[in-house]
Structure 1
Amino acid sequence: MKHNREAKVGNGSIRIWWLNPIVTFALLMTFILIGAYYIPSSSYLSFYRVNKFINETNIIYSILPVVCFILGGVIALLAGRGMKPSNAFGEVMEKKDSFIKMWILLLFAFTMFGYAVWFLIMLRNGFSLNLFISVLSGEPGAIYGIKESFDNVAGVTSFTNFSIPFVILTGYYLFYNKKKIYIWMLAAVFLLTMMRSIFFLERLAILEFIVPAAVVYFSMRSRMNRKIPFVGVYPIIGLVALIGFFGVSEYYRSWLSYYVNYYPSFWEFIVTRFFGYYVTAINTGTLYFEHLGFHWLPFPSSTAEFVWKFPGVPNDAYESLYGFEPQALINNTLATMGNPEFNNPSGLLQPYNDYGLTGALIFWVIVGFFTGLLYNHFKKGHTFGMMLYPIWLVGVLEIPRYFYFGSGRFFPCWVIILAFTLILHYNRKKLTSWRLKGVGAGE
């Protein structure tokens, strides 16, 4: 087996500005909050069919969490300036080849199992080739036929989310071993993710593939001191590509069935609707705290979604324990005062529903601090940071829409990454005396 020895210089510095989560978050939220505030009420009604709840007195409640996140992140970045770099991740990549391949194959198998279950459920519920062709041919409403033929099986279909650590680990491994089989495996997962994003209306899934893959690719090239042309403007290119992908999915989802008769052009519809998902999320989050107030719950609901959607946990678990259901109040507020079509609650403002005003601001300082800490570990080559940060950045980018870090789809990702990190380092410490089945110390 031949390794790409150039990867040994992988502890070089990373000089890509948009990989810094504090900078990226500050720019993103500045742009979105300015848009959400200055878009006139008439445009909210015309484009999004909802009243504008953001005003000059309550916009401060959207600004404060941003400030707290940045404050926590800056503190972490300053505190970690003296952190020593680590070679552990690169050493294991080079010396424990079969250990890494075992994890890659295991994660790939889990991912394929998840997609196989999806497909079998669809077939059981009446999915047919004719329905698929109807979607491709642009038949209005056909895509909802596919959506309706699918029932999520908690804990089983969630196996598809193992694709995230698979993409990250395989992306790194390809800098050490260029075997084509792993490229084909990535291509297979990418194709399935594309289909899932377009036909199952899970557009976040494509971000969960593209962003981690990009972070791994560009950070590794930077560590290896390889020149990356125009890398500073890639976020703009990525935004244009994302809007284009969004346009393709919306074409089948809502343009043909309704909006073709409402907007003068498809492009105006796409740009308006794309940015609408973000500005209306801030508007909806503002509606919630304006109408429901700030209350510190006995246990978090919105920001700990994975707890209440864990396999085997009944739907009424929160109400059974505490006598009320916070999400029911939120849903009722949305149905009566908002627009259920734009139901993103804004991850920026969700903590107000769980921790109240003061608790939410403290919460964002903590999240910002952990984000900065994770980025420090990522820059210095520490395993947990190398593995978790690529997908953590997706959560940072999703904060305007919803709190990704507390979601059920993120839960299996960080658990498997934590397990991998612990086993990897135990394996490294026992490099000459400890054996995992299929792993040789001298590889």
Structure 2
Amino acid sequence: MSAADGRAGVWWLSPAGAVLLVVPATLVLAVFFDDAYFRQSWGTPKVLTPATAWLFALGAALFCLGALWPLLRSPASAAGGWPQLTAAQRSRLRRAATVVFRLTVVGYLAMAAAGVARGARPAQLLTVLTDQDAFDSTLRLQFAPVTGVTTLTQLGIAYVVLAAVLLSSGRDRGLELRLALVLFLALLRTYFLTERLAVLELLIPLVAVAALAISYRAGRIPARLVQLAPFLLVPAVVAVFSAFEYSRSWVFYSQHRGGSFVQFALDRLAGYYGTAYNNGQLALLHDEGGSVPYGSIEGFWTAPGIAQLHLYTLLTGRSEPDDFSTLLQQYGNPEFNSPGGVAIPFLDYGTVGGLAFFLVVGSLLGLAYRACCDGHLLAVLLYPVLATGLFEMPRYLYWGQGRVLPTLLALLLTWWYVSRARPPRPTSPRPTLRSTT
């Protein structure tokens, strides 16, 4: 069954579907655990109130409401396949992918050079591997980002999207090898630098493109199986999280507390979400009422040039994110430092403004998802990246972070370049010469 047959996409990739998968369950979890459990398991008092929890739930509900109305119209016919690309556009997309891949590799080489210059040595990597302990390693400081240079590593997200879109129409060994390399490099960051988001922000767009391609291009049975994917993906996510948490924190904590690793991993996973909502409540309680939004447009304030000017501090007298770190040191636990994506709009715009933010952003993402399902190239390129923010909403407002800005710019430039591809000129038939006798 093809897109022309009227398929409406993958429910769990839609903005409303994704948010309903993650926000209600994690918010209920945060409400369920009491203050004693918060203190014992996660080292922070519980300050989340039922009233604030209901406010967060209302924001998520308005987001879903805004995301649903664009889906009311029937999906457009995509008789040319999903995504809708001409041969000329596909050729340009491949060239753009090559450029993005090379820039990504340059970013990782720059990161490696910076680490070596700061004293990182192969022996440290071997120590982390043998001891299975990345918590006490100095590698995170030695491989800290260099503004404007190592930022190129974030283009790996754009490359994953471009490669996945190209591979959706058929296998290509070169693309597959380069894609595997980018994923492997992100995996190294995740393991040695305990930067779990580095691999998540590649895997979610990759899964999104693959799921949509199967839904629109494969047969009826594979398309139906894709709709059931969360029943397999959720246990897989828990397993992968547990595997990385072993070297990230279990080796350290196992020396100071009892219990099994499985119990620790599940408790740790719950803690990342529970404390995110709790941290959001902390920020709301101690907010000084800054008049200029920060968290929802963090990428603007941390952009090269603007960050060096300390523009946000000059305008408001506040120092973000340092103020939030100080807040956690005084009232929470700096180890669990997720700001809570559902809380950020209320911090930036107030109660009414925050609710309006969720409604508007939900509508925009609903329109983007509808366009992506219809095969429009710009949405096909951007929406898989935006989907990461849906699944990370309980912890971060991913769309406003500076780490995603290079990817969005690269994909916008790619769309502009590919959309300018000219269709092949029609060839007029040659006149036939009549033979005279």
TM-score after normalising by structure 2: 0.90
Q: How much does 1:11 deviate?
A: 5.2
Closer, same or farther: CA 91–319 of 1 in aligned 2, 3 Å: closer
2:257 — aligned with what? 262
Closer, same or farther: CA 222–379 of 1 in aligned 2, 3 Å: same
Q: Deviations over 1:352-400 (max 9, x none)?
A: 2211111111111111001110110011111111111111111111110
Q: Any conservation in 2 of the 1:19–1:215 contact (CA below 8 Å)? A: yes
Q: Any conservation in 1 of the 2:132–2:246 contact (CA below 8 Å)? A: no
2:273 — aligned with what? 278
2:76 is the counterpart of 1:76: no
- Among 282, 287, 298, the residue aligned to 2:282: 287
- SS at 1:365's partner residue? helix
Q: Distance in 1 between matches of 2:4 and 2:75?
A: 15
- Among 246, 250, 275, the residue aligned to 2:245: 250
- SS at 1:57's partner residue? helix
2:303 — aligned with what? 310
Q: Any conservation in 2 of the 1:301–1:327 contact (CA below 8 Å)? A: no
2:197 is the counterpart of 1:208: no
- Among 110, 123, 126, the residue aligned to 1:130: 123
* Equivalent residues in 2 for 1:226-245, closer than 5 Å: 226=219, 227-228=221-222, 230-245=225-240
* Equivalent residues in 2 for 1:3-402, closer than 5 Å: 13-78=7-72, 80-81=73-74, 85=78, 87=80, 90=83, 92-138=85-131, 140=133, 144-226=137-219, 227-228=221-222, 230-292=225-287, 295=289, 297-313=290-306, 314=308, 316-325=310-319, 327-402=321-396
Closer, same or farther: CA 94–10 of 1 in aligned 2, 3 Å: farther
Percent identical among aligned pairs is 27
Q: Any conservation in 1 of the 2:134–2:193 contact (CA below 8 Å)? A: no
- SS at 2:85's partner residue? helix
Q: Any conservation in 1 of the 2:299–2:401 contact (CA below 8 Å)? A: yes
Q: How much does 1:161 deviate?
A: 1.1
Q: Distance in 2 between matches of 1:377 and 1:406?
A: 21
Q: Distance in 2 between matches of 1:109 and 1:86?
A: 34
Q: How much does 1:91 deviate?
A: 5.2
Q: How much does 1:90 deviate?
A: 4.5
2:431 — aligned with what? none
2:413 — aligned with what? 419
Q: Any conservation in 1 of the 2:84–2:375 contact (CA below 8 Å)? A: no
Closer, same or farther: CA 60–138 of 1 in aligned 2, 3 Å: same
Q: Distance in 2 between matches of 1:69 and 1:292?
A: 24
1:439 — aligned with what? none
- SS at 1:422's partner residue? helix
Bigger shift: residues 355-364 or 297-306: 297-306
Q: How much does 1:193 deviate?
A: 1.0
- SS at 1:54's partner residue? coil
Q: Deviations over 1:177-227 (max 9, x none)?
A: 422111111111111111111111111121112111111112112211323
Closer, same or farther: CA 218–251 of 1 in aligned 2, 3 Å: same
Q: How much does 1:421 deviate?
A: 1.9
1:3 — aligned with what? none
Q: How much does 1:35 deviate?
A: 0.6
Q: Distance in 1 between matches of 2:134 and 2:154?
A: 27
Equivalent AA in structure 2 for residue 173 of structure 1: L
2:434 — aligned with what? none
- SS at 1:256's partner residue? helix
Q: How much does 1:315 deviate?
A: 6.2
Q: CA RMSD in A?
A: 2.3
Q: How many residues are matched?
A: 422
2:404 is the counterpart of 1:410: yes
Larger Rg: 2
Q: Any conservation in 2 of the 1:86–1:381 contact (CA below 8 Å)? A: no
**Could you list the runs of 5+ residues in structure 2 that have no partner in the other structure?**
427-437
Q: Distance in 2 between matches of 1:134 and 1:96?
A: 47
Q: How much does 1:140 deviate?
A: 4.6
Q: Distance in 2 between matches of 1:352 and 1:282?
A: 12
Q: Distance in 2 between matches of 1:131 and 1:326?
A: 32
**Could you list the runs of 5+ residues in structure 1 that have no partner in the other structure?**
1-5, 434-443
Q: How much does 1:159 deviate?
A: 0.6
- SS at 2:258's partner residue? coil
Closer, same or farther: CA 340–91 of 1 in aligned 2, 3 Å: closer
Q: Distance in 1 between matches of 2:417 and 2:197?
A: 30
Q: Distance in 2 between matches of 1:25 and 1:212?
A: 16
- SS at 2:402's partner residue? coil
Q: Distance in 1 between matches of 2:79 and 2:314?
A: 47
Q: How much does 1:233 deviate?
A: 3.5
Q: Distance in 2 between matches of 1:253 and 1:318?
A: 33
Equivalent AA in structure 2 for residue 377 of structure 1: A
- SS at 2:218's partner residue? coil
Q: Distance in 2 between matches of 1:181 and 1:139?
A: 33
